[in-house]
Amino acid sequence: MKKIIIAIDGYSSCGKSTLARQLAKTLNYHYVDTGAMYRAVTLYLIQNQIDFHHNEMVSNCLPQIKIAFGFDEITQTQITLLNGENVENEIRINPRVAGGVSDVSAQSEVRKFLVKQQQTLGQNKGIVMDGRDIGTVVFPSAELKLFITADPKIRAQRRLDELKEKNQNTSFEEVLANLEKRDYIDCNRADSPLMKAEDAIEIDNSFLSKEEQLNLVLTYIKGLAVNLS
Ligand code: DC
């Protein structure tokens, strides 16, 4: 029995992190949300009024950014820490983070900085990591690679529902436009664009429930002789 790396890539708001969390819980693996790391860097730049497009200023401030993951006992969920501060909610609801994160994550220096940390987090395996370049760049030899897709309108509706739950007032059209803009930038940037790794399994979850999706992926995992405890 062995521990493996599960790499999950795909478009914005297509349920990658829900699946990753479910898998980490079922397998007793660590979960790393790499999107949260790019969001935390973006929040740091906003807080310090650093122009996202000024490569040199952005690179110079990276050594001051410490990102870690913690656990909130009250909500029983994983949280993102930026220089020791819980920024979990802020990185999800601040529209300036959502609006800027694709530009920030297109910068090679930012990617190098975070990819190195991600590779360290996965060095002992037993990890589920989700993002855009996990199967292609961060862990090209991951034992299981998944590429998740869903219809953009369905993704926008899911994201809108999430924001409403957090009492954020926005429209379907705004959410869809932000999501399509992010998809475009993520797929067309020069460094590590979002793409399906050749050996990734593609799952379109537009019409799958969370449970159906999890069960489907568990059938793939069982085929890999992984320790399921
Ligand atoms: O998964 P998310 O929506 O929280 O990701 C936020 C942004 O970060 C997304 O627009 C693309 C970027 N990202 C990336 O470029 N590479 C990753 N591995 C993860 C996220």
For residue range 24-46, what is the model confidence (pLDDT) as tens digits? 999 999 999 999 999 999 999 99
Among the listed residues 38, 7, 18, 42, the one whose alpha carbon sits nearest the alpha carbon of residue 155: 18
Structure tokens at 182: 């992010």
Pocket lining: 39 vs ligand 1, CB cutoff 6 Å: yes
- In this prediction, residue 225 carries a pLDDT of 63
For residue range 131-181, what is the model confidence (pLDDT) as tens digits? 999 999 999 999 999 999 999 999 999 999 988 998 888 999 999 999 999
pTM over 0.85: yes
What beta strand segments (E) does 73-217 contain? Answer: 77-82, 85-86, 127-131, 144-149, 201-204
* pLDDT confidence bin for 61, thresholds 50/70/90: very high
Which H or E run contains 71?
strand 67-72
- In this prediction, residue 226 carries a pLDDT of 62
Where in the chain are the domains?
5-222
Which residue has a Cα nearest atom 11 of ligand 1? 102
182: region left, alpha or beta (phi > 0 left; psi from -120 to 50 alpha)? alpha
CATH 3.90.1170.50 fits 5-222, yes or no: no
Pocket lining: 35 vs ligand 1, CB cutoff 6 Å: yes
For residue range 64-121, what is the model confidence (pLDDT) as tens digits? 999 999 999 988 889 999 999 999 999 999 999 988 998 999 999 999 999 999 999 9
- In this prediction, residue 228 carries a pLDDT of 55
User: Among 16, 38, 108, which is best to mutate for testing ligand 1, by the most ligand atoms less than 8 A from CB?
Assistant: 38
Which residue has a Cα nearest atom 13 of ligand 1? 35
